[in-house]
Amino acid sequence: MKLIKNILLVVALLLSLISSAQVRSIVDFNNGWKFFLGNDSLASNANYNDSKWRSLNLPHDWSIESNFSSSFPATNQGGALPGGTGWYRKTFTVPLSFKNRITRIEFDGVYKNSEVWINGHYLGKRPYGYINFSYDLTPHLNYGKPNVIAVKVDNSLQPDSRWYSGSGIYRDLKLVSTNNIALAEAGVFITTPVINKNKATVSVKYNVSNTGNQKEIVKLYTDVYDATGKKVATSKHIVLRSIPVGGYSYADELQINTPLLWSTAKPYLYKAVTRIERNGQLIDEVKTTFGIRSFHFDAANGFFLNNQPLKIQGVCMHHDLGALGAAYNHAAAKRQLKILKEMGVNAIRFSHNPPAAALLDLCDEMGFLVQVEAFDMWKKKKNKFDYNLYFDEWHERDVQAMVLRDRNHPSVFMWSIGNEIREQFDSTGTTIAKRLVDLIKAIDTTRPVTCALTENFPEKNFIWKSGALDVLGFNYKLYDYAELPNRFPGQSFVATETASALSSRGSYDMPSDSNRLWPPDGKTPTVKGNADMSVSAYDHVYAYWGSSHEAALLAVNKYKFMSGMFVWSGFDFIGEPVPYAWPARSSYYGIVDLAGFPKDVYYLYQSEWTTKPVLYLFPHWNHNNGDTVDVWSYYNNADEVELFLNGKSLGSKSKPNDVLHVKWRVPYQPGVIKAISKKNGKAILTKEIRTSGTPAKIQLVADRTKIKANGTDLSFITVKLLDKDGNPVPDADQLIEFSVTGPGFLAGTDNGFPADSTSLKNHKRKTWKGMALAIIQSQQKKGNITVTAKSAGLGMSVISLKSE
């Protein structure tokens, strides 16, 4: 069965290669790999026997498959998961007709220290785990016969990161084949230098390569299509061009009449198709998605998109996808972005490294501004085995690869050369900052360069002293915002990090108005905190270098010169479990928990950052008789909120100046707590929460009941404990056991609690505050998938999905 499947895969690959042999072929190279966890130096040999190795598809992260343990050298800061060494091998065939073509393998990211061999021939290594790279396979391929590609991944030196990195070929892989005359890798660069109501000028820079041994005469041009597929522009001068041996660069111009602009509210996209013809025959074609938008930072007034002021409502995001680990998955990334979009987020800082390329496609489509960041450290380390070991030798190639890969994305609006770089405190920071900015600007001058800084005294900040930064990014220190324009006259600012506030979903410590600094200072890395390792979710717990979410929002809103903010962090991520130590293994910083369930503060942002009517009430209404409970509400589009307990009014409240919530202190009685938001005395929204009984059944709700039978699509199933009347139970937990039948499998389980030490791949998961998540992945086979959840005393619940 397996053999037939592999033969079919090879045939499919061959067919797709042949059918597009005339022009460029881009083949998804993710499927049909063999994997071995461990080291075997002979595995690079072409004739090595890998038949006993595990079969898998990429992207793959082996670290996430392990149990959590305090004994791994990455420690809980790195997610309490292992690094190690792993090998991947794939056997594939290329047709004879490819002899005169150029064939390249493109890796979007391998964590880390990858080395690659084709048919036993060494192609090279790439230390940085967050960068794309490629190899030319042409001279080493066996045409019409099997080839073997072998990849060694060495993530054994630990600790190497301040957060969870994952290990393996964790991003997409492609095989690209072109004629000997073709657009080079990243050989099309599109910008829109002139934009007005009537027209946009589109500049296209081409980099054509000629790997043959004679010059060739070709036609090279670009057509632009709008979102409906209608051709709206073509190159001004379509003439024959002579391409010398080696290559050729050329700049072209097109004009689009009455352009539709890309914005975060309406992310309109155009497609440019660049073609090369030889003797009337098409020999290469490259499609580039782009957008038409302008933006600028104004030192006094902040950020402007398409000449309209726009506060940057951003979040910082690490790359892991919760229970899926670092392995990139489009459906999971899309779900994260959807959740953020609904909260009102319009910008993302991918911290502290370049993200997956496919994630930027999603940001283009969904309307997010993106800050792409190169590094978390330069030559001075933050961890024993981090990128400082490779910086000298590799920073140039890594920065260039980042800019070349990402420069066409309309979403990408800033480059960041680093995060809280140690060199900001000494003179080496000046030289390195200049160098990195020069490297970026040599390729792209259309985007400002920033750096996320902590040192905000100009005389002490050596990165700022370089004079190379277009925009200054500052992390935290709200209390200094007022001073920034005096300290750095004429500069533009963005809050590259705010908050570092902490919470676990559904946890509440009274009273809600006593703030906790966890940790309280630099000498106390972890705190005793709560015995169950929860952190209260009233916005009143934060690290000493941070603030509450509310304080950060108020500070950024107060100053027009602050272009906006990137909250630390959008989602919880694996690693950095401040304020706790093991068994805590993932962060408490997120506005959304690791499972993708919003915490209460999500609705604070939603009420501030969106115009849709919001009325949110918390906490739950299951407390002990005699308790005094602080009831909070976030709202907008209303003048006041009236609260009722069991039908009796507890009074109306409006948000006081400089406060973004209303609060009542309520002597608890079981029953119904209800809020009504009102405008001019008229009810706008109503929200009520009931005291629930004990769990009686399991509710399963899928985010999508129809998924694609492509082997990667996902359905996220939210699991809730309900009482006998159907009320959610917020204060009891049960162990749930999942099983899946049909053409799908359980890709992971979670409950969002950062100190749950059960593997994220376990099919049994205890709920946290009455909730859990099961992630179901499709196979490459259509049919009905049945997901069953069982728990002692609750019977079982079933949900059906269609994979088509």
Looking at residues 345 to 364 of the shown chain, list those that interact with ligand GAL (rule: CB under 6 A): 351
- DSSP state, residue 260: P
Looking at residues 548 to 607 of the shown chain, list those that interact with ligand GAL (rule: CB under 6 A): 568, 576
* Nearer of residues 500 and 751 to ligand GAL, judged by Cβ: 500
- In angstroms, what is the minimal distance from the CB of 589 to ligand GAL? 6
DSSP annotation string for 104-124: EEEES--BS-EEEEETTEEEE
- DSSP state, residue 271: E
Q: Report the C-alpha gap between 754 and 593 in whole angstroms.
A: 8
Q: Token match 């007034």: residue?
A: 301
Is residue 251 classed exposed, middle or buried when 0-12, 13-18 and 19+ CB atoms within 10 A define those classes?
Answer: exposed
Q: Which residue is nearest to ligand GAL (CB)?
A: 500
- In angstroms, what is the minimal distance from the CB of 250 to ligand GAL? 42
Q: Report the C-alpha gap between 682 and 243 in whole angstroms.
A: 72
Q: Report the C-alpha gap between 148 and 127 in whole angstroms.
A: 22
Q: Is 24 helix (H, G, I), strand (E, B) or coil?
A: coil
Helix (H), strand (E) at residue 487? helix 484-487
* Nearer of residues 550 and 576 to ligand GAL, judged by Cβ: 576
Looking at residues 499 to 528 of the shown chain, list those that interact with ligand GAL (rule: CB under 6 A): 500
- The 3-state secondary structure of 778-799, one letter per residue: ECCCCEEEEEEEEECCCEEEEE
Catalytic residue among 106, 115, 185, 420: 420
Cβ atoms of residues 58 and 328 within 8 Å: no
Of 497, 550, 572, 756, the one binding ligand GAL (CB under 6 A) is 497
- In angstroms, what is the minimal distance from the CB of 721 to ligand GAL? 32
Number of residues that bind ligand GAL (CB under 6 A): 11
Strand pairing class (682-690; 697-702): unpaired
Q: Looking at the DSSP assignment, which residues form a beta bridge with residue 133?
A: 107
* Nearer of residues 166 and 259 to ligand GAL, judged by Cβ: 166
420 given a catalytic annotation: yes
Q: Is 445 helix (H, G, I), strand (E, B) or coil?
A: coil
* Nearer of residues 109 and 546 to ligand GAL, judged by Cβ: 546
396 given a catalytic annotation: no
Helix (H), strand (E) at residue 608? helix 601-609
- DSSP state, residue 94: B
- In angstroms, what is the minimal distance from the CB of 452 to ligand GAL? 6
Cβ atoms of residues 463 and 416 within 8 Å: no
Catalytic residue among 106, 216, 373, 497: 497
Cβ atoms of residues 335 and 596 within 8 Å: yes
Q: Is 549 helix (H, G, I), strand (E, B) or coil?
A: helix
- What angle separates helix 601-609 from helix 549-558, to the nearest 10 degrees? 20
- In angstroms, what is the minimal distance from the CB of 475 to ligand GAL? 6
Q: Report the C-alpha gap between 509 and 536 in whole angstroms.
A: 5
* Nearer of residues 497 and 750 to ligand GAL, judged by Cβ: 497
Q: What residue type is 192 in one-letter code? A: T
- In angstroms, what is the minimal distance from the CB of 736 to ligand GAL? 32
Q: Token match 């053999």: residue?
A: 3
- In angstroms, what is the minimal distance from the CB of 498 to ligand GAL? 10
CA distances from 460 to 94, 427, 468, 546 (A): 58, 9, 16, 21
Strand pairing class (312-317; 347-350): parallel
Looking at residues 415 to 454 of the shown chain, list those that interact with ligand GAL (rule: CB under 6 A): 419-420
* Nearer of residues 329 and 547 to ligand GAL, judged by Cβ: 547
- CA nearest neighbour of 804 among 785, 788, 786: 785
Q: Report the C-alpha gap between 300 and 297 in whole angstroms.
A: 9
- In angstroms, what is the minimal distance from the CB of 497 to ligand GAL? 6
- In angstroms, what is the minimal distance from the CB of 107 to ligand GAL? 25
Q: What residue type is 131 in one-letter code? A: I
Q: Report the C-alpha gap between 414 and 203 in whole angstroms.
A: 19
* Nearer of residues 423 and 497 to ligand GAL, judged by Cβ: 497
* Nearer of residues 354 and 695 to ligand GAL, judged by Cβ: 354
* Nearer of residues 94 and 317 to ligand GAL, judged by Cβ: 317
Instruction: Confirm or reject binding of residue 543 to ligand GAL (CB under 6 A).
Output: yes
* Backbone phi and psi for residue 486, each to the nearest 5 degrees, phi listed first: -75, -40
- In angstroms, what is the minimal distance from the CB of 162 to ligand GAL? 6
* Nearer of residues 455 and 576 to ligand GAL, judged by Cβ: 576
Q: Which residues bind ligand GAL (CB under 6 A)?
A: 162, 351, 419-420, 475, 497, 500, 543, 546, 568, 576
Catalytically active residues are 420, 497
